[in-house]
Amino acid sequence: MFLTRFIITIFHRVTQGLASRWRNVYYRILGVKIHGYVWMRQIEITRNFQDIQIADSCALDEGVVLLCSGESLNQSKIYIGSRTYINRNTFLDATESITIGKDCAIGPGCYITDHDHGLDLEVSPLAQPMVSKPTKIGDRVWIGANVTILKGVTIGNDSVVGAGSVVTKDLPESVIAVGVPCKVMKEKVNSEIQTVT
């Protein structure tokens, strides 16, 4: 019984590894700029492949979607820094620029965007132009499960965003923020966490 389970486990790992390597080759051929090896489960990139750049040693889990809309620019619309892990069913939706730093952990079910539609009440939402502003997540940021990060937001290095939060405004470095809308609750000072009053 132990030997059978061991063989099945090894077989599973080998097939997952081969599938990930194949996806690296496949997306490179389509134009995604992949630096080094990126661990990829079954992800979705449907168009504008050349607008995506992924640094070395990243991991993209099952169901991650990278979507770039609009005309190609002279820069990457989605950039994911080295050693960043993006968990299951997270959606990155860019028309201008989403930048994610290195060594970040992004939980499952997140939505990160750099745009929305206009607010003219006389025109249907889909007929209105996209309004875009770059979204930036710094280095070593931890984003909890089911977080929404809206256009134009910058999250500073070493910050933590609690599960279920909706980030509508910039967050400074080294803070813990939660809520709808997301607000700073604690900050890291000299390696200690202090409550913000």
Closest CA to 136 of 161, 159, 170: 170
Provide long-range contacts, Cβ within 8 A and 24+ apart, for 163-170. 163/107
Query: Which CATH number covers residue 42?
Result: 2.160.10.10
Positions marked active-site: 117
For 76-111, the pLDDT digits (tens) are: 999 999 999 999 999 999 999 999 999 999 999 999
pLDDT tens digits, 113-154: 999 988 888 888 888 888 999 999 999 999 999 999 999 999
Look at residue 136 and give its three-state secondary structure. Answer: strand
Query: How many other C-beta atoms can be found within 10 angstroms of the C-beta atom of residue 7?
Result: 10
Domain that residue 168 falls in: 2-195
Split into its structural domains, the chain has a count of 1
The reported pLDDT for the residue numbered 197 is 60
Q: Kindly report the pTM of this predicted structure.
A: 0.90
Question: β-strand 154-155 against 175-178: which pairing, if any?
Answer: unpaired
